[in-house]
Amino acid sequence: MIDTHAHLTDERLLPFTDEIVKSGLKRIVTVGCNAADCVKAYALAREYGHVFCALGIHPHDAKDYDDNAESGLRRLIAGDNNKKVVALGEIGLDFHYDLSPRDAQRKAFEKQILLANEFNLPVVLHVREAADDALSILRENRQFIENGLLFHCFAEDKVYANKILNTFDKAYFAFGGAVTFKNSDRAAVAASLPVDRVLLETDCPYMTPVPYRGQLNKPQYLNLVLNRLIEETGLTDLEKITDENAGRFFGFR
C-alpha cells in the first residue's frame, strides 16, 4: 500500500520513525506545511528510500508566505536531484479555522499553483469550508494546472467531485480514516467516484480510523481505510488499483 499523505515530521510521530518506515508500506508521502517543516520533510525523504515528500505552505500559514518562503521552496525543489519531491502541497484554503486572513490564503494558493506549474509538479490540496472559493481559483488558473491535482481528505459530495472531474483531466481524491467513522458518508462518496481517481491516505497523526480513534494515527493503520473501502465498493483488488493511481499521480516508477 501507498500512504499518499502523512506528517512524519510531527513531534508526536518522530519517536516512531523507524517503526513507521519498517511497517511494510510500499511508499509514504510525508508533507511539509510551513518553511521549517518543509526542510524537515525533505531531509526525512532523502534519508529513507521509500519515503517521498510534498512541500508547500499550508493555508494556516499563508500569512507567512512571502519571497523568502517561496525562495526556500524553490531551493528545495530545484536542488532535488534524487527526485524525492513529488508534489507541491498541501496548499489551498481553510475557512474553518481562518488562522490566516482569507485574502492571504487566496494569494498564497495562487502563487503556489504557479510555482508547481513552473516545476512540473502536481498539487495536493487542503480545502475546508471553502469549496466554492477553491473551485473558482482553480478554474481561473486552469492553464497552470497541467500536472494533476489531488484533493487531500476529500469531504465534499459527488456533485462537487463531478465539477472537478469535468474541469480537470488529472483530478484525484484521497480518503483516510474518516471513511471508518460512524455516520460518515465518505466511504459512499469514494465508492461513487471513478475508481481510477481514488487514493488512500492516513493524514497521520490526525484522522485516526476506528477502532483506534482518539489515539495517535500511524501509516500502518492504512489497511483499515483500505478494508472499509473494499467493503463499500466490493473491489477486492482495490489495493492494487489505488497503488497504481498513486504511482500515476506522483510519477512513481
Domain of 234, CATH number, reads: 3.20.20.140
CA distance 24 to 22: 6
Residue bearing cell 481505510: 225
Q: Which residues contact residue 42 at a Cβ distance below 8 angstroms, ignoring those fewer than 6 apart?
A: 32, 53, 55, 76, 80, 84, 85
CA atoms within a 13 Å half-sphere pointing along the CA-CB vector of 192: 14
Among 124, 167, 166, 118, CA closest to 144: 118
Q: Give the pLDDT confidence of 193-241 residue by residue, as tens digits.
A: 999 999 999 999 999 999 999 999 999 999 999 999 999 999 999 999 9
Q: Considering the entire predicted model, what is its pTM? A: 0.98
Model pLDDT, residue 253:
67
Looking at the 3D structure of the chain, how many domains does it have?
1
Question: What does the alpha-carbon distance between residue 233 and residue 227 come to, in Å, rounded to a whole number?
Answer: 10
CB 86 within 8 A of CB 252: yes
Residues of the domain holding 73: 2-250
Rounded CA-CA distance 139/172 in Å is 16
Q: What is the pLDDT along the chain (253 residues), one digit of tens a residue?
A: 999 999 999 999 999 999 999 999 999 999 999 999 999 999 999 999 999 999 999 999 999 999 999 999 999 999 999 999 999 999 999 999 999 999 999 999 999 999 999 999 999 999 999 999 999 999 999 999 999 999 999 999 999 999 999 999 999 999 999 999 999 999 999 999 999 999 999 999 999 999 999 999 999 999 999 999 999 999 999 999 999 999 999 999 6
As beta bridge partners, residue 52 has 29
